Structures are given as structure tokens and as C-alpha cells.
């Protein structure tokens, strides 16, 4: 009731200001219209900034969701950490989706594949078409192979004059993986990770969700993400990866530097390198050129150039450029040249156990400078010892355990109240105040591109009244359903 009486937008601003009071590096910007109504709001905390500094080489910015009753655009800035899990860089609510027009926009491969096989009844049952289309989406090595595969598919299935496929071909730079291998994307296939993010946010948030409720959902989701990272960090620091192969040579080196998640990816490439074959086709001074072939059903061959003096290596598949760790073609060549550790040039810090070492160093230096903190260490150790002994003393008695738990809950409430009052007292003035002369009015209902919710796909539309194709837009044609795979 307090949130309703205070106004939805005003309450959210106050909640954000409370976060600002607790975080010295919190950032908040709010834009109002001439009537004092909320138009845009962006915020990020200090941990989001630190994560962006480390993992900001890849960021997904997806504005396709409406998760509130004002139809404002929910715009999370999302990346992936060194455990290949979601990490938040910031979040915004926008009334206008014309943002970042100069960035590289991508169409979701999952959406494209689902729409292609669902729109055309005659092709739906043909596995050969599905395979051919999937090959065009993500199975081609370079542009020449893509053009050849696309032409063959269009010709074989008589799609030369089909407008959907013609429009799709015109947007090939936005979805064909063969045309983006020079771009580091951490291996993300289009917006798959943003689908995961929006699924997590939109799971509870609906089109009638207030901004206040959404902020609560957002904070809970963020807390869960960070708890998962803490567990991953702990497990990574205390665990030694298990492998079907002996942990020697490059595999042992990978287990020492990579997180558990990335070690599994490296191990998969290492296993492929063992079963592949290589042929030395050219030697010129210190440069050696190999053809490396796999023995799987594709039987693809890639050219690897190796500088034996500097240990520099390059493969035509461009996996390192795209994903940040070496492909099995390169590993094969390194192995036959008796290289027993991963060359330093090909260990991307963002994938290692030490990705956050800068934050650790910053924390340690801050602790080192703080006499006040050092003075607290003996007291902290003494209190930890006392409470630990108390827990041991009462652990076998239910009534004693209840006394300790009740005391903890009572003390936590009192201490939190005390610390909050001290923080608010010390808070400096911000650009937007919560006094009566600066009340932020709730936003009007935004109307953008005729979309008030997540666009439904072909399978969902078929259950309802059909929509005139002439009124559809590219967003409806090339983006529809959310995948079942979520990177959480």
C-alpha cells in the first residue's frame, strides 16, 4: 500500500536512491518529460561496473521485452563471466527503443531455424532441408562455403522466388556465423544468452507488473546470479578437474589456469585433436603450414600456420578469434611439435580462474591502507571464535539452537536498522530528491512498434486468429519463440 500511495515511479526512484546510499560507486540516471513523468531510467551498482571492466568484451543488449504495465522497454545489459554464466552490467527502462543504432545487431539463430521449418508445411518433414538450413546458419567455415550452401539449398527446394528467404538472405550479416568469425563473441550464438536473461526476468514479471514489483524481481534474480558465481568460484578454487585422460602436458596446464567450465570446453577440443590427422604441406623458414582433418561425419579440413620460434599459431576456422580458446586443429599441431603447455598468447584472462584478480588486488590494497579495518581484525577473530564455540555447544540441543537463531535474527534486524540510519545520514545530495517538490510521476503507456509483449512465434500464432502477413514486420518474421536452453 505504501508503494501505491507514494506512486510507482517515485517509489522505484526512492528504492534506487537507497541502493545509492549503500554503494559509493552506484550510478543512477533518470529522465523525465516536461510533466515530470518518468521516461527513462538507468542504473548499475559497483559490482556491475567491476564485472563490465572484466567481462565487457562481450555484451548483449536486448530490447524486445515489455515486462511492466507501462509498456516500457526492459533493457538489461548482459554479459557472461569466466564460468559461462549470466552477469549483469546494468539495466534500464526506456520509452523509446531507438538506442545504439551503430552496434552490430544480430538475429537469433534458434528463432530463424524454428520459423524456417514451421512456416513451410512441405519442408517441415524433410530432415534434409533442416540440415541444409542449419548448415547455412552456423555450419559454414567461410563466406564462399556459405554462398555455395545457400545457392544449393535455394535451388534444391525451389525457393528462388520466395520472399521470406530472399529477405533473410539480404540480412545475412546479422545471422550467418561464417560472416562474423573475426568478431570475438565468446561463442555466443546470436542472442541466446539474452533469451536466458529475459526468461529469468520475465518469468515472474508480466505486462501488468508495476515498476516497484519489477525492481524486487530484478534484485532477487541478481542475488541468485551472484550466489551462483560465488559457488562456482569456491568450487573452482577447491576442486581439481576430473578427466578421462591423464592430466599431463597441455591438459594439465589447462586444468591449472581455466575455470572448470572452460576446462571442459578445452578438454573436448583436446580429445578431438587426438583423433584428428595432420599433414605438413609447406615449410618456409620458421613457418610451417599444416592441413588438419577430423574423422567425424563432416570430415572438414582446416589450414593451420605455425611459427615454431615464437609459438604463434593461426587456424582457418578462427575459433580462437571467436571464442577465446584454441581449436583442436591448433592443439594437434602444437602437440606434434612437442609443445607441452598452452602458449601464453592464447590464454585469455577472462576465461581463467584469475579473471577477477584485479578486484582482489584492489580489495587487498584498500585493506592495506585502512587502519580502521586492521583494527577490527582482532575483534572479528575473537567474536568469530566465541560464536563458533557457542554453536558447537548448542548444536545437539533443539531448544538451545532456537535461542541462538532467535538471537541472531533479533540482532540482525537491530544492526541493519542502525547501519541504514548511519548510511542515510552520511548520504550526499543526489540529482533527484524524494521531497514533495520533486515527485516523479508514473510514466504514460508507451506504444512502440505495435508490441506490448513478447512477439509470439508461428506455432503460437497458429492456435489463434491468423494475422495479415502484409502487416507483419521483420521482428515478427525473424524472431519469435524463446528456446528451452538457458545459460543459467
DSSP 5-50: HH-HHHHHHHHHHHHHHH-TT-EEEEEE-TTSBEEEEEEE-HHHHH
By the 8 A CB rule, do 115 and 478 touch? yes
CA atoms within 13 A on the CB side of 349: 10
Mean of pLDDT values over 466-476: 42
Mean of pLDDT values over 330-336: 96
Q: Which of 139-148, 380-389, 437-446, 464-473 has the highest mean pLDDT?
A: 139-148
Domain that holds residue 297: 260-351
Average pLDDT, the chain: 79
Q: Tell whether 280 is covered by a domain.
A: yes
pLDDT tens-digit readout, 396-451 = 888 998 999 899 889 988 888 888 777 655 544 444 444 434 677 777 766 555 44
Mean of pLDDT values over 310-332: 93
User: Has residue 464 got a pLDDT over 70?
Assistant: no
- The pLDDT assigned to 58 comes to 87
pLDDT tens-digit readout, 177-230 = 888 887 888 877 544 554 555 555 545 566 677 888 888 888 888 999 999 999
Q: Tell whether 282 is covered by a domain.
A: yes
Q: What's CA 44's distance to the chain center, in Å? A: 16
Three-class SS of residue 143?
helix
- The pLDDT assigned to 417 comes to 84
- The pLDDT assigned to 2 comes to 43
CA distance 90 to 55: 13
Percentage helix, strand, coil for the chain under 3-state DSSP, each rounded to 5: 50, 15, 35
Domain count across the chain: 1
- The pLDDT assigned to 485 comes to 36
CB atoms within 10 A of CB 378: 9
Q: Tell whether 7 is covered by a domain.
A: no
Mean of pLDDT values over 343-354: 94
Q: Tell whether 219 is covered by a domain.
A: no
Mean of pLDDT values over 262-286: 93
Q: Tell whether 210 is covered by a domain.
A: no
Span of 49-58, 65-74, 359-368 with lowest mean pLDDT: 359-368
Q: Which 8-state DSSP code applies to residue 60?
A: E
User: Has residue 453 got a pLDDT over 70?
Assistant: no
Span of 46-55, 73-82, 291-300, 347-356 with lowest mean pLDDT: 291-300
Q: Residue 301 belongs to what H/E stretch?
A: strand 301-307
CA atoms within 13 A on the CB side of 196: 20
- The pLDDT assigned to 262 comes to 94
Mean of pLDDT values over 269-279: 93
User: Has residue 466 got a pLDDT over 50?
Assistant: no
408-432: b (≥16 Cβ within 10 Å) or e: eeeeeeeeeeeeeeeeeeeeeeeeb
Closest CA to 352 of 263, 470, 456: 263
Span of 105-119, 231-245, 396-410, 428-442 with lowest mean pLDDT: 428-442
pLDDT tens-digit readout, 124-178 = 777 888 889 988 988 888 899 999 999 999 999 888 988 999 999 999 988 888 8
- The pLDDT assigned to 102 comes to 75
Higher pLDDT, 12 or 477: 12
Q: Tell whether 418 is covered by a domain.
A: no
- The pLDDT assigned to 425 comes to 56
Sign of CA dihedral 260, 262, 265, 270: negative
Q: Tell whether 339 is covered by a domain.
A: yes
By the 8 A CB rule, do 325 and 269 touch? yes
User: Which residues contact residue 207 at a Cβ distance below 8 angstroms, ignoring those fewer than 6 apart?
Assistant: 66, 67, 68, 69, 71, 452, 453
Q: Tell whether 125 is covered by a domain.
A: no
Mean of pLDDT values over 234-258: 90
Amino acid at each position: 500500500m505504501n508503494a501505491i500511495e507514494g506512486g510507482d515511479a517515485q517509489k522505484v526512484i526512492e528504492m534506487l536512491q537507497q541502493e545509492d546510499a549503500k554503494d559509493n560507486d552506484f550510478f543512477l540516471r533518470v529522465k523525465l518529460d516536461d510533466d515530470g513523468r518518468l521516461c527513462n531510467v538507468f542504473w548499475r551498482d559497483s559490482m556491475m561496473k567491476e564485472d563490465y571492466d572484466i567481462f565487457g568484451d562481450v555484451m548483449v543488449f536486448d530490447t524486445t521485452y515489455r515486462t511492466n504495465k507501462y509498456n516500457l522497454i526492459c533493457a538489461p545489459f548482459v554479459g557472461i563471466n569466466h564460468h559461462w554464466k549470466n552477469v549483469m552490467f546494468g539495466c534500464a527502462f526506456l520509452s523509446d527503443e531507438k538506442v545504439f543504432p551503430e552496434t552490430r545487431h544480430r538475429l537469433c539463430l534458434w528463432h530463424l531455424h524454428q520459423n524456417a521449418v514451421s512456416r513451410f508445411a512441405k519442408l517441415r518433414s524433410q530432415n534434409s532441408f533442416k540440415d541444409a538450413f542449419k548448415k547455412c546458419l552456423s555450419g559454414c567455415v567461410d563466406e564462399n562455403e556459405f554462398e555455395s550452401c545457400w545457392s544449393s539449398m535455394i535451388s534444391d527446394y525451389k525457393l528462388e522466388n520466395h520472399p521470406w528467404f530472399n529477405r533473410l538472405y539480404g540480412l545475412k550479416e546479422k545471422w550467418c556465423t561464417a560472416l562474423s568469425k573475426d568478431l570475438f563473441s565468446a561463442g555466443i550464438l546470436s542472442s541466446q544468452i539474452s533469451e536466458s536473461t529475459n526468461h529469468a526476468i520475465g518469468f515472474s514479471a508480466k505486462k501488468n507488473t508495476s515498476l516497484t514489483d519489477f525492481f524486487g524481481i530484478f534484485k532477487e534474480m541478481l542475488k541468485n546470479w551472484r550466489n551462483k558465481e560465488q559457488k562456482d568460484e569456491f568450487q573452482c578454487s577447491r576442486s581439481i578437474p576430473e578427466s578421462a585422460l591423464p592430466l599431463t602436458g597441455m591438459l594439465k596446464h589447462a586444468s591449472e589456469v581455466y575455470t572448470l567450465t572452460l576446462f571442459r570446453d578445452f578438454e573436448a577440443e583436446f580429445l578431438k585433436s587426438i583423433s584428428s590427422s595432420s599433414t605438413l604441406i609447406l615449410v618456409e623458414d620458421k613457418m610451417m603450414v599444416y592441413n588438419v582433418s577430423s574423422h567425424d561425419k563432416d570430415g572438414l579440413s582446416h589450414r593451420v600456420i605455425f611459427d615454431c620460434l615464437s609459438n604463434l599459431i593461426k587456424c582457418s576456422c578462427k575459433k580462437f578469434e571467436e571464442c577465446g580458446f584454441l581449436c583442436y586443429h591448433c592443439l594437434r599441431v602444437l602437440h606434434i611439435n612437442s609443445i607441452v603447455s598452452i602458449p601464453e598468447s592464447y590464454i585469455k584472462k577472462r576465461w581463467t580462474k584469475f579473471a577477477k584478480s584485479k578486484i582482489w588486488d584492489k580489495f587487498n590494497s584498500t585493506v592495506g591502507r585502512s587502519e580502521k579495518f586492521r583494527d577490527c581484525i582482532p575483534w572479528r577473530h575473537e567474536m568469530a571464535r566465541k560464536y563458533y564455540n557457542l554453536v558447537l555447544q548448542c548444536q545437539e540441543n533443539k531448544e538451545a539452537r532456537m535461542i541462538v537463531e532467535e538471537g541472531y535474527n533479533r540482532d540482525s534486524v537491530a544492526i541493519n536498522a542502525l547501519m541504514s540510519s548511519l548510511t542515510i545520514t552520511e548520504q550526499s545530495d543526489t540529482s533527484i530528491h524524494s521531497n514533495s517538490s520533486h515527485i516523479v510521476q508514473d510514466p504514460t503507456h508507451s506504444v512502440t512498434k505495435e508490441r506490448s509483449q513478447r512477439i509470439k512465434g508461428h506455432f503460437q500464432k497458429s492456435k489463434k486468429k491468423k494475422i495479415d502477413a502484409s502487416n507483419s514486420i521483420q521482428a515478427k518474421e525473424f524472431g519469435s519463440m524463446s528456446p528451452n536452453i538457458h545459460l543459467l
